[in-house]
Amino acid sequence: MATIQTGHLDCSVLVTSRILRVLSHAFSEGIYLLALVLLFMFVMGLLGMQFFGYQIAWCGKMEGASQRCPPGVECPLHRECYVDCRPEQLGQWFEVDRSPYNGLAYCERFPRDFDPSNPGDNPQWPLYWAQVGKPHIGSQHFDNMLHSFITVFIIMTLDNWTDIMYPMMSLINPWVALYFVVLIILGSFMLLQLFLAILLGSLDKVPDAVFCFIWFIHWLKNIAMTQESLLCASPYWLLEMTAQSCTGTAMCSVGTKPRIL
């Protein structure tokens, strides 16, 4: 059986050691800055929960619908949508355009246990409202820490961040834009770019090492494919393959003359 013996097959060792060394150096340099970026995202997520939690929701295009909490009712965090109705519609279904209940709504009086003989301290009671479904909640919001962290990450990557800002400005307050300005300037333009600059600066030599490694795998593949043909090859046939930048300015050479045993 024919075998091939070649010398100087230490390119893979050089490649492996170089990749590990570069990755270790990049990790050691960027770990503290990465921790700072994550801490910044955590703080901005907490601020988002504090100021915008459970506020990024709307009642669709139903005219007169808004999120309300009827008196005497334990309301969810995302308040349900109601429209006004008249006292003569109490206990009846009436038409509401775009209502999820087949275009209808049921008129109720709040508080439900209201006593006309004892109106209480609120002169506005009773209230006649009709529930018209639950609000629509945006895919990016600040209702909990997980979604807040994800929303902050999306804003920092500048991935359609205006699709998050403009609805919040219309639902909450136009001054919401200040939150996005601070987050983008500090998080995206400064911290994130600085982290990427350090990481890419440490990995500037990886492409050369990867090239050498790919070349070595390609060389082994050629050896396997030509092993049988070497039995009939000329003894002076030379296998010369070199790759630059394997060790800086040095040339990584593989054997010059295979021997057939």
pLDDT tens digit string along 153-203? 999 999 889 999 999 999 899 999 999 999 999 998 888 788 777 777 766
**DSSP annotation of 87:** G
| Cβ count within 10 A of residue 143 | 20
Taking the CA atoms of 58, 60, 66 and 68 in sequence, report the sign of the dihedral they define.
negative
pLDDT at residue 116 in the model: 73
- CB–CB of 18/209 below 8 Å? yes
**Cα distances (Å, whole numbers) of residue 210 to 19, 240, 254:** 8, 20, 17
Are 47 and 149 found together in one domain?
yes
pLDDT at residue 42 in the model: 95
**pTM score, whole prediction:** 0.64
Are 74 and 100 found together in one domain?
yes
* Per-residue b or e along 150-185, where b marks 16 or more CB atoms closer than 10 Å to that residue's CB: ebbbbbbeeeebeebbebbeeeeeeebeebbeebbe
Q: Across all residues in the chain, what is the average pLDDT?
A: 76
Whether 261 is in a domain gets the answer: no
pLDDT tens digit string along 1-53? 444 444 444 555 655 666 666 667 666 767 888 888 899 999 999 999 999 99
Whether 260 is in a domain gets the answer: no
- Which of 112, 137, 162 is the last residue in one of the domains? 137
| Cβ count within 10 A of residue 96 | 21
Full domain range(s) for residue 85: 57-137
First-to-final CA distance of the chain: 8
Is pLDDT of 64 > 70?
Answer: yes
If one counts the domains in the chain, the total is 3
Are 147 and 126 found together in one domain?
no
User: Which long-range CB contacts under 8 A does 100-106 form with residues at least 24 apart?
Assistant: 100/132, 100/133, 101/132, 101/133, 105/130, 105/131, 105/132, 106/130, 106/131
Are 153 and 83 found together in one domain?
no
| Cβ count within 10 A of residue 99 | 22
The CATH code of the domain that includes 177 is 1.10.287.70
pLDDT tens digit string along 247-260? 444 344 444 444 43
pLDDT tens digit string along 92-113? 999 998 899 999 999 999 988 8
Is pLDDT of 90 > 70?
Answer: yes
